[in-house]
Amino acid sequence: YMNEAVGALEALLFEVGFHRIENPCHADNLRSAQLPQRRGCQLDGTHRGARLTESGYADTLVYNKLSSDS
């Protein structure tokens, strides 16, 4: 369901004029990272130590998709 929901949201955002969508996800959550990959997003990079967790700082992966990618 998540893939379909994100696809509908992407379509709506591009339809109303967005040029770029960013999709950040936790670097240690592989299933979370698979969604933007399946949606055709490109990996911008890793924000090291971007969020504080109970066990310390953790990395965030940032994916993007351009309206021209759709």
Per-residue pLDDT of 19-61, as tens digits, reads: 999 999 999 999 999 999 999 999 999 999 999 999 999 999 9
Per-residue confidence (pLDDT) for residue 38, from 0 to 100 = 93
pTM listed for this prediction? 0.86
In this structure, the strands spanning 56-66 and 42-53 are: antiparallel
How is residue 63 written in tokens?
A: 């994916």
Token couple for 34: 């698979």
Residue 70 has pLDDT above 80, yes or no: no
